[in-house]
Every structure is written in structure tokens, then in C-alpha cells.
Chains A and B, each alone.
Chain A
């Protein structure tokens, strides 16, 4: 059973550019959450998608947007990249009914903004 997968593994972008990160949830999961983890910090919640809609958002600007597809996979888009956006971006999947305590993370995409 494949776990949560993310692509790409690493990405280097320039300030002002736009980036799209992708996530495939664990088989059978219907909910996808995105987190940003800066070096030496715990993950911070960006937003959560369920039934192809964003249903909760953390304290992140509108430059961060996302999408969920009918097969439950998801994308995270970041526009007008800033140096401070350099981080590990993590996708977590869950069953909606168990999302309060069973979120499974992918390996992450390491984004470097120069």
C-alpha cells in the first residue's frame, strides 16, 4: 500500500516566481492538509482540502492557494515567491472521520528560493 507521495523532491526557484507542488494521498484517504516546516521548526498548517474545497486555512497569505482533484490528489501553489518561503512543504492525508488524530505525512518537497 503506497503511502503519501509528493513531487518534486527538491525545487529551486527565484524570488517572484511561482511554484506548484503535488501530493497523492494514502489509498482510501479523502482529506489532504498542507504544512510548511521551516528549518528547526515544527510544521505550520497552511490549509486543508476536503471534497475538492478548502475548508480551513491557517495564517498564510493569499499567495498560497491550492486545489483538490476528484481522485483526492492535491496541489499547492505559491505565487510571488519570497526568500522566506524557503522551507519543507509537507502534505498529510487522512480519513475525514479520523483526521483529528491520524494524519499521515509524505516525505515533503524542499523548496529553496534564491
Chain B
């Protein structure tokens, strides 16, 4: 079993739809949860991060973490064609004193928003 599982899609939605992207994980030591957006042939761009459980909102994006279920989500409201990209979830232990913060990624979900 992989540490982080993410449905690769592809996911196609009409413009203006609400998009839900999800990841599950098996390692209960993960404390920090990130979402990255990666356009074709570009490096990943950090969208937002969350520490432990709860919700975090940034404009049209909302990240949710449920540590009891080992499940994280990213919601995109009022989706736009410019949101078309691959969305990667990433996690880290953030262990104090370890000094190193290796990110473990999902495979990414390819999203297309159709005008």
C-alpha cells in the first residue's frame, strides 16, 4: 500500500462547477498537508497548507483535513478554465528536531475545466 493515494482522474467539469479533489494516507505520523497545482511542463506551485485537522480557506479554495479518517480534500468553488492543471497532495511529518521535512506526494489528479 502506498503511503499516499490519489485518484489520477482525469476529472472534467464545466466552468463554474464546484470541484472536489481527495487523497487518503496510511501514515498517522503526517502532520502537515499541502496542495500543489502543476501546469503542464512546469514545476508544482504551492496553493495552501494545513496543520493537523480542520479547514482552511483561501479565496475560491478550501482545504479540509480529517486525521481520524486519514483523508484530505481540496474544494475549488466557481471553477475557471485557468484552474485546468494537475493537483498534487503532499504531506510531511514535520518532526521537531529531525530538521528535515521530506514531502510525500500523491500521483496527482488531472483536472480540466470546460468553458
Q: Which residues of A contact B (CB under 8 A)?
A: 4, 33, 35, 40-45, 48, 50, 55-56, 58, 90, 92, 94, 96, 99-108, 110
Contact = CB atoms under 8 A, between A and B. Distances in A.
Interface residues of B, number: 31
A65 B44 CA distance: 23
Contacts of A100: 31-32, 92-94, 101
B46 A104 contact: yes
B97 interface: no
Interface in B20-51: 31-32, 34, 36, 41-46, 49, 51
A42 B102 contact: no
Q: DSSP majority for the B interface? A: loop
Given A42-B106, A107-B42, A101 B100 contact: no
A89 to B, nearest CB: 10
A103 B42 contact: no
Nearest to B4: A42
Contacts of A42: 4, 6, 88, 90, 105-108
Contacts of B108: 41-42
A105 to B, nearest CB: 4
B32 A101 contact: yes
B70 to A, nearest CB: 17
